[in-house]
Chain A
Amino acid sequence: MVPVRAIPARPHRQGGLLALLVLPLVLFLVVVFLWPVARFLALSVDNSDISGNLPRTISALTDWTPEAGLPAEPVFVALVEDLAEARRAGQEGVLAQLVNQRVVGTRFLVIKTAKDAAAGKLDMRPVRESLLAKYAGWDNPALWRALWRETSAYTDYYLLDSLDLMRGEDGSITRVPEDRAVFLDVLVRTIWISALVTVLCTLLALPLAQAIVGAPPFWSRLMFALVLFPLWTSLLVRTVIWIMVLQKNGPVNATLLGLGIVGEPLNLVYTRFSLYVAMVQVLLPMMVLSIVAVMRRVPATYMRAALSLGASWLTAWRRVQLPLILPGILSGGAVVFVFALGYYITPMLVGGPTDQMVSSYIAFYTNNTLNWGLGAALSLQLLLILLLFAFLYWTASALLRRKVGG
């Protein structure tokens, strides 16, 4: 529709200079962003804290199978050597934590055995008998089965866990028990909430953007400033205000009660409703900015032309205005959706436990239970969704460009 003149290619030297100028930024991104993120994501398959700390035990266990009962003396000798080594390297705490993740109730067993092993208290032979006599716990078949399975430097334990799957007794992949299955629900919930927030933002932003673009300069600037104003306010403040507004004795409930619309205060805060309200309010400016930027470039004469040719306002808007501002809606939608996917503070503050999104679980596992493997696996999940939607956005805008251009 709009004729596009081909831009002449830039001289080669200038491109080289540009690359040189961009280089520091690229290096900066690699060092402080890409590298640490990749390191963290690698934790989702990393098993070296277990296998790397028990090399002798693992090789001694190669000839063993769970059916054989408790392992024989050489395995116990290897175990004591490994644990002493781990203790000297200061690794026994991490090892104990990871073993305890797989077999609950083994944390002190590992720490104490490692301490005694490093102090040389477990040298009398046969080691197997003295170890079994000294600690209750090394006779637990589940513990040996777990160690026997951790032979590789890599593990799918966390990736499976993040999809509500696990390895059964025989090593095959099964669903985790119903009372522990949560991540698939959370995943669907995260995408659903983000999508709905994006749609709501679009529906609210369109008339607003139209009003801003169409208003006289003073009012246009004023409205624009009012849209920007929340962006300059702390996210935390904007979110917490909603708790005040929506709580049982807050102004919304007071108004509804006062007008006699409801008999008793509604449950508004800590619900999915309050989450949508807060998220839409926080993210709306992004959408408005993006649409206004595109809308400003569309001459008002196009709409007028369509109207003068007899189209109804709605038809004119739908067939002339909408296609022209679609790139703005798409890019605004992409920004809102991507932001919403990673939301953590807002759901934590104004949502209930059934409204928490993936990020909240990532924070829980990395900060609270220090299960970094699972935290990394969930992060990977989130990243893959992001890439998928980035690809969809890219495809959609490429198609759009071709359609408008042709």
Chain B
Amino acid sequence: MRIYLRTVSAAALCLAASTLAVSAAGPITVVGWGGSWDKAYKDGVWDKYTEQTGIPIVHEEWAGEVAKVRAQVQAGNITYDVVSTEAPGMEIGCAEGLFVPLTPEITGDPENYLPGTLHECGVASDTWATILTYNTDVFKGDAGPKSWADFWDVEKFPGKRGVYAQAQFTLENALMADGVKREDMYKVLSTPEGVDRAFAMLDKIKPYAVWYSTTPQAIQNLDSGEVVMSDQFNARITDEVMKEKKPYAIVWEAGYFYGTDYWAVVKGAPHEQDALDLLKWFSVPENQAGFSKLYAYGTGRKEAAAMIPPEWAANLPTSPEHIEYATAYDNDFWTENKEALEERFKAWQAK
């Protein structure tokens, strides 16, 4: 009962606060990737902004569909102010004029950004990686997989594999397992033979694959022992290991690809100016460092990276310890080919 009362009074307070805030700016609708990602942004970054300025921030989640922004703009009914989008969406949205171009006045000196983290219309919200992870209770000590070839080797490492049910990430991993060097990846994938080669590799792992389409599914499969290893986004695994004490290890040295998502302001958004102010505030290194401190993804400003405690920084895909095993996703390639390859992948899966 006491909990109930507390909830009610908290709700009443919120209501009162929101009524008061109507006269002030905002609220700014910020659209992120959901789950613990959103929570880290809320706790580490946006709550501070609201504290400092009194401008409330509303959180929404999506799966990065730029077509949704396009539909809102065309219908003249824009509800998103700031969105985090993957690089291909950024390219398309910016080229189409859906996003507001950002000036150095907002982003600060471009020199201060890590390569690939600043775009004409966006600043990095997070740099993430897709890595190989395995259950250290199953493969103890030094017995774990070391490479993507090991991921494919079901004789030496018996057990099912968790595999992301989409072409992007999976094709790259398959070709790495087949001995393609990361630096040659998109040269190979740009040819029909290269794509066939990747699918031929996938044929081999198919009987052992447990497909997932969301991260919670992947974690549940690892957790229940349904799979012994999986591909996954690095920060989620770090989260599980650090917060839940789960027995997972990340095999950085197997090689991994990383990508960057960007914050962008929707042109003509109801709070466009407030949103730009928000990104200006976000571009201050101390402010954006709040995210990486809570979640093992990097952000754009070089100084922000330096503010993260070194022992935690080792969990980030951009950390100097691992970066030699990393290559960036080719955004141009995936922008042009994603639809066709995802459709082929879906058809291949169904056979």
Contact = CB atoms under 8 A, between A and B. Distances in A.
B242 to A, nearest CB: 24
A247 interface: yes
Contacts of B67: 97, 370
Contacts of B337: 104-105
Interface stretch (B118-126, B218-226, B303-311): B218-226
Question: How extensive is the interface on chain A, given as a class?
Answer: 35 or more
Contact of A348 (B97, B213, B338, B343): B213
A101 interface: yes
Contacts of A354: 349-351
B204 interface: no
Contacts of B156: none
Contact of B342 (A94, A111, A186, A368): A368
B343 A353 contact: no
A248 interface: yes
A180 B342 CA distance: 11
Given A100-B339, A108-B332, A371-B343, A353 B96 contact: no
A112 B95 contact: yes
Contacts of B351: 182, 185, 354
B99 to A, nearest CB: 12
Contacts of B346: 182, 361, 364
Contact of B344 (A179, A186, A348): A179
Contacts, number: 92
Contacts of A243: 220
Contact of B65 (A111, A356, A367): A367
Interface in B207-254: 210-211, 213, 220, 224-226
Nearest to B67: A370
A65 interface: no
Interface residues of B, number: 37
A392 B230 CA distance: 47
Interface in A96-154: 96-97, 100-101, 104-108, 111-112, 115
A107 B74 contact: no
A100 B336 contact: yes
Contacts of A342: none
B325 interface: no
B205 to A, nearest CB: 13
Contact of A371 (B226, B336, B339): B339
B53 interface: no
Nearest to A355: B350
B73 interface: yes
Contacts of A353: 165, 211, 349-350
Nearest to A349: B217
A186 B350 contact: yes
A369 B96 contact: no
A46 interface: no
Contacts of A352: 211
A354 B343 CA distance: 15
B96 A111 contact: yes
A90 interface: yes
B224 A247 contact: yes
A92 interface: yes
A364 to B, nearest CB: 6
Nearest to A115: B95
A348 B92 CA distance: 30
B348 A179 contact: yes
B93 to A, nearest CB: 8
B339 A369 contact: yes
A166 B213 CA distance: 29
B347 A180 contact: yes
A199 B63 CA distance: 38
Interface string B160-196: 0000010000000000000000000000000000000
B112 interface: no
A270 interface: yes
Nearest to B338: A369
Nearest to B341: A104
Contacts of A105: 336-337
Contacts of B340: 101, 104
A180 B196 CA distance: 12
Contact of B350 (A112, A185, A367): A185
Contacts of B95: 108, 111-112, 115
B74 A90 contact: yes
Most buried by A among B91, B98, B211, B351: B351
Contacts of A66: none
A108 B338 CA distance: 13
Contacts of B342: 368-369
Contacts of A180: 343-344, 347
B322 interface: no
Given A101-B339, A107-B92, 13 more contacts: A90-B96, A93-B98, A97-B339, A100-B336, A105-B337, A115-B95, A179-B344, A182-B347, A185-B351, A243-B220, A249-B226, A356-B350, A370-B67
Interface of B: 63, 65, 67, 70, 73-74, 91-92, 95-98, 165, 199, 210-211, 213, 220, 224-226, 332, 335-340, 342-344, 346-351
Q: Which A-B residue pairs are the 6 nearest by beta carbons?
A: A353-B349, A182-B347, A93-B96, A104-B340, A111-B95, A105-B336
20 contacts: A93-B70, A93-B96, A94-B70, A100-B336, A104-B340, A105-B336, A107-B335, A108-B335, A111-B96, A182-B350, A186-B350, A244-B224, A247-B225, A249-B224, A353-B211, A353-B349, A354-B349, A369-B343, A370-B67, A370-B339
